Amino acid sequence: MKKIIGSILIVIPIVLMTGCYDYTEYEEMQLVFGFGIDKGEEDDELIVTVQSSGFKKTDVQSMGGGGSSSGGSPNSSINKASSKTIMGAIDKLQQIISKELFFGYIKVIVVGNEVAKEHMDDIMAFFYMSPRVRGSAYLLIAEDKAYDTLSTVNLSDSDLSAKSLENAINKSVRSGVAFPIKLSDYYNIELSNGWEPAIPQVSYYRTKSKEDEEQGGDTKEKETNTNPNIVQEEDGYHLIREMVVFKDNKKIGVIDERETLCFGFITGQKINSSYVIDMPSEDSFLGFRFLKNAGKLNTKIEEGQIKAEIKVSVNASLDEYKGKKKLDDIEVIQSFEDKLSQALKKDIEKTIATVQKELKADIFGIGRRLFQQHPYQWNDHYKDDWEELFPNVKTEVKVKVKILNTGSNVEPFGIKE
């Protein structure tokens, strides 16, 4: 009898534990892929925009291998609502979205320009506390409004704008004009001493149809002023370039494309972009493609003075060349390596000076590296005053370049013997 009672006591908890108290069927979910936040009309008001998609039952069956997906199509929409809190705005959005909003699939979080200057700490605190949003979501700062950015649809891409933005983020590395940062990366940087974040900036551009131009305006239906509201989509495209610099959880400036490239070299980002050196005195130019790069940052303390040593190594190919020199001459190739090394060194030093003297935000993580290499000195002498010390840190930049490929022809085109 005791064995029977014991078995029952073991089985009952197991049965109870197999249930899920908040389980929702997949077809009853509205999957959120894009999340936008803007400043509202009132100072203490936020506007939350979600781009979401709900699936019909036939879609769910096809995803599980139960049939063809032709029986149903995603029901996507863009909605926005305003409130004093993000949660309050989400509750309002749920009033006009019949299915339950699910935030586990968010691809991008777009933060509007104005709200990034004032409320970034509140926004990040919400995501940091919320278990519903994964740290793998990409962060973007809109040059203008987040809801306009999300409602701009790329005609060359049949996907949702949030997914198109995700693809654009990954491709931006190739041109070296922006470097991705995920939600979890932002947490890591902000929770570290001696390090400030930089986030890619996104711009949108609207295209008008021939009918719109003939009528001299926009033919789309006017949005209502209700709260919550449906946002109308418009055709256009996005550009992700340049990095927005933050300090104390507030946007303080933007570094341009060349400075962003140099930021990537300093921080060891993977870069596959092109780089051109003009040589007007020789009526010539060199066009390189970066193949492989690495960046190393070390810190020293000499007589109480902090010094940062930045070493950058680059492998490149010479993809374009206008000139008269033969490319099978080792001395010619070495001279080209020197030219690229000097040009990159000059650009990197200029970028460091801009960040130190104008923005005064340690986006390179020099303070963090100082803490890692000199923890006792950091805690005793530099941690509390790093904001004032960073602009005066001495830096030394060393760039080593190796040209691995000069193309299939060593003779310059158009030069006759």
Q: What is the pLDDT of residues 254-292, one digit of tens each?
A: 999 999 999 999 999 999 999 999 988 788 899 999 999
Looking at the structure, tell me whether residues 169 and 301 fall in a common domain: no
By C-alpha distance, which of 83, 130, 94, 84 is closest to 109? 130
pLDDT of residue 107: 95
Asked which of 203, 235, 255 is the last residue of a domain, the reply is 255
Shared domain check, 383 and 274: yes
Residue 32: closest CA among 162, 146, 182: 162
For residues 154 and 183, membership in a common domain is answered with yes
pLDDT < 50 regions, the chain = 2, 5-6, 8-9, 11-12, 15-16, 20-21, 57-73, 210, 218-222, 408-409, 413, 416
Q: What span, in angstroms and rounded, lies between the C-alpha atoms of 138 and 148?
A: 18
At 400, which CATH number?
3.30.300.210
Q: Do residues 279 and 240 both lie within one domain?
A: no
Q: Are residues 99 and 211 in the same domain?
A: yes
C-alpha closest to that of 337 among 397, 406, 270, 274 = 406
Residues 251 and 262 in one domain: no
351 and 259 Cβ atoms separated by less than 8 Å = yes
Tally of domains in the chain: 2
pLDDT for 230 = 79
Residues 210 and 292 in one domain: no
pLDDT at 71: 33
Residue 3 belongs to a domain: no
Q: Which of 203, 224, 255 is the last residue of a domain?
A: 255
Per the structure, the complete domain to which residue 146 belongs is given by: 24-255
Asked whether the CA dihedral 156, 161, 167, 171 is positive or negative, the reply is positive
CB count, 10 Å around CB of 282?
11
Q: Give the pLDDT confidence score for residue 295 in this predicted structure.
A: 96
Clarify whether residues 386 and 312 are in a common domain.
Answer: yes
pLDDT for 246: 97
Measured CA to CA in angstroms, residue 127 lies from 104, 315, 410 at distances of 12, 39, 56
- Mark whether 217 and 104 lie in a shared domain: yes
Asked if the structure places residue 2 within a domain, the reply is: no
CA–CA dist 265, 294 (Å, integer): 7
User: Are residue 385 and residue 336 in the same domain, yes or no?
Assistant: yes
Residue 14 lies in a domain: no
Q: Is residue 156 in some structural domain?
A: yes
Token reading at 294 = 């690495």
Amino acid at 328: D
**Which of 255, 283, 312 is where one domain is finished?**
255
- What 208-212 contacts at long range (C-beta under 8 Å, 24+ apart), as own/partner pairs, is 209/235
- What's the pLDDT score for residue 264? 95
Verify that 188 and 270 share a domain, yes or no: no
Are residue 236 and residue 282 in the same domain, yes or no? Answer: no
